[in-house]
Structure 1
Amino acid sequence: MKHTLALAAALLATFSAHADSGRAMPAQVPKAYTQECAACHVAYPPGMLPAASWRRVMTGLDKHYGTDASLDAATVTQLSTWLQTHAGTYKRVSTEPPEDRITRSPWFERKHRQVDPAVWKLPSVKSPAQCAACHTGAEQGDFDDDRLRLPAGLSAQQQRAWRD
């Protein structure tokens, strides 16, 4: 009975991780993932990229988008395994984005197509990778459009466009 309950809980956690199209953060997040990845950008829910992309990201940490994000071998193994386990497998992430960048994926570009390019350069935003600048629940994998906030520094015109 105890094993059945544990298996049911594990399956529920797996299914709930994919219930929000893979955007939701899995229930069990390795501490190293939050500490290391969130030091520079949102610790993205692993379902936002396919397994092949995560594999390349983790094997290229010494040149991680222009930065040396190298980690010790044990941490790389732990995080790689976790990312592979929770990688996106649904239609939206079936295509590996250019340079394995979430922000270059077709769905990301479609969702953000009306964002003025100048907004990404605001000091309060810095880049498309800084999801938390606008998405209040980004740290938990909540990117619901109903919970957006205007980033600081928007011009009057950008504010009007935002509200439209």
Structure 2
Amino acid sequence: MSDSQLDILAMRVMTPNDLDAVLGWRNHPDIRRYMYTQHEITLIEHRAWFDRATQDPHKNLLMFEVNGIAKGFVNISEKATSGVADWGFYIAPEAAKGTGRKLGQTALYYAFHTLGLHKVCGQALAFNERSIKFHRNLGFQQEGVLRDQYYDGKNYHAVICFGLLSTEWQPKT
């Protein structure tokens, strides 16, 4: 058994104590360049986002932990009461290789078993090959391409849309 098989993986609700870590991850250049909002987020903006999001019963702001240490963030936003949600996520830039896969599996377990969702939807900018591969490796199906959907201030980029039904999800052991 490898060390990674001994890891204790968990999802928990984000608290105000997590704001600094999540802001640091979100503002890291390797994460920020794949976000729709690519400017460096200020602490005031970040706190305002957190305050708004935590008042919305359809938003689930979650921390992914490995052995009790926060290693990633997941946002699962439900569409009213339809059982369908969008997700977004990122891992700590210094996280070990394989952390993203663990985050994905743990977040999907949470989405389908804890939240009881029917479907999780994701989007990736067309140039974000890692995110596209990540979604496919988790079993997501590509459901569409939104051509020239995102403008980064210089160029337009396509957005790849993904979906995964609870009946299609196969947790990896």
TM-score normalised per structure 1:
0.29
Structure number having the greater strand percentage? 2
Larger Rg: 1
Q: Which has the higher helix share?
A: 1
Q: Which has the higher contact order (CA 8 A, sep 6+)?
A: 1
